[in-house]
Amino acid sequence: MATEMRVESAAVAGNRKLRLATASLAGCFGCHMSFLDIDERLFALVERVDFDRSPLTDIKHCGPCDIGLIEGGICNAENVHVLREFRSHCKVLIAIGACAINGGLPAQRNHLDLGQCLQEVYLTAPDVVSGQIPNDPELPLPLDKVHPIHEIVRVDYVIPGCPPSGDAIWKFLTDLLDGRTPRLGHPMLHFD
């Protein structure tokens, strides 16, 4: 289970705004879309936090942050690098969504041979014409298996769901910002 971590509430920290970062690894960005589903509550959120690295700000590397939200599992070498950097800059790391928590959809390839997967997709699939397996040195190397992020770094909290609802994300974040232990009851706690 996640280790209990508390974020200093803004009042305790002398009204310093907290810094929040978000990132996506091997996911579908569905959790980020769900994050945007907090809709106009985003205005209330930016009253209390500044965004650091996030697809919302287009900042590519994280500075020191209080809270990091990360979606997606680990499917290639770049994911490992990004996750480690992200973890080292975030006081509290929250795994969001099925892929970050248990590998999710990408991990459904784990019982297949990676080489055979690549061959099937890029060479032997019926609609492939003169295909080739991508081999550009700039492409990160895929890992043999897809892993949940807790196998690589320490994770403080998780928000399950595929994706979790905007309401669940809002409940979780406001609990955390207000200094309460975040808790998702029925019907916000769901895995699908």
Q: Does the footprint of other proteins cover residue 111 (CB under 8 A)?
A: yes
The pattern of x and - marking residues 133 through 172 that bind other proteins according to CB under 8 A reads ------------x--x-xx---x--xxx-x----------
4-13 — which CB contacts under 8 Å span 24+ positions?
A: 4/181, 5/91, 5/92, 5/156, 5/157, 6/176, 6/179, 7/66, 7/67, 7/91, 7/92, 7/176, 7/177, 7/179, 8/66, 8/179, 9/177, 9/178, 9/179, 10/48, 10/177, 12/179
The yes or no reply on residue 74 touching other proteins (CB under 8 A) is: no
One residue of 2, 45, 152, 153 binding other proteins per CB under 8 A: 2
| Interacting residue with other proteins among 20, 69, 82, 98 (CB under 8 A) | 98
Min separation Cβ 27 and other proteins, Å: 12
Inter-residue contact 102 to 148 (CB < 8 Å): yes
**At its nearest, how many Å lie between other proteins and the CB of residue 132?**
28
Alpha-carbon separation of residue 11 from 16, 17, 20, 49, 178 (angstroms) = 8, 9, 17, 13, 9
> Considering only residues 56, 105, 114, 152, which one is a binding residue for other proteins as defined by CB under 8 A?
105
Query: Residue 183, interface with other proteins (CB under 8 A)?
Result: yes
Give min distance, CB of 73 to other proteins, in A.
Answer: 10
Q: What does the alpha-carbon distance between residue 148 and residue 9 come to, in Å, rounded to a whole number? A: 29
Enumerate binding residues for other proteins (CB under 8 A): 1-2, 95, 98, 101-105, 107-108, 110-111, 145, 148, 150-151, 155, 158-160, 162, 183-187, 189-192
